[in-house]
Amino acid sequence: MATALEQMATALEATALEIMATALEIMATALEQMATALEQTATALEQMATAL
């Protein structure tokens, strides 16, 4: 019984770690997209400054 519970606990820990890893990947992607948007904004501001 203890072994089965230990196996279940191990499986749950592995699942939790996989979920956390996926969440971190999603956050990393979102941060990359934000960085790209900021770069595009900077470029647009530079073009506006040049036009002025």
Question: Coil, strand, or helix at residue 16?
Answer: helix
| DSSP character string of 4-44 | HHHHHHHHHHHHHHHHHHHHHHHHHHHHHHHHHHHHHHHHH
Task: Decide: pTM greater than 0.85.
Answer: no
5 vs 11: CA distance, rounded Å: 10
Mean pLDDT rounded to a whole number for the chain: 96
Residue 25 scores a pLDDT above 90? yes
Q: How confident is the model at residue 14 (pLDDT cuts 50, 70, 90)?
A: very high
Residue 32 scores a pLDDT above 90? yes
| Average pLDDT, integer, range 6-22 | 96
Residue 1 scores a pLDDT above 90? no
For the chain, the structural domain boundaries read 1-51
Which residue is associated with the tokens 């595009």? 40
13 vs 16: CA distance, rounded Å: 5
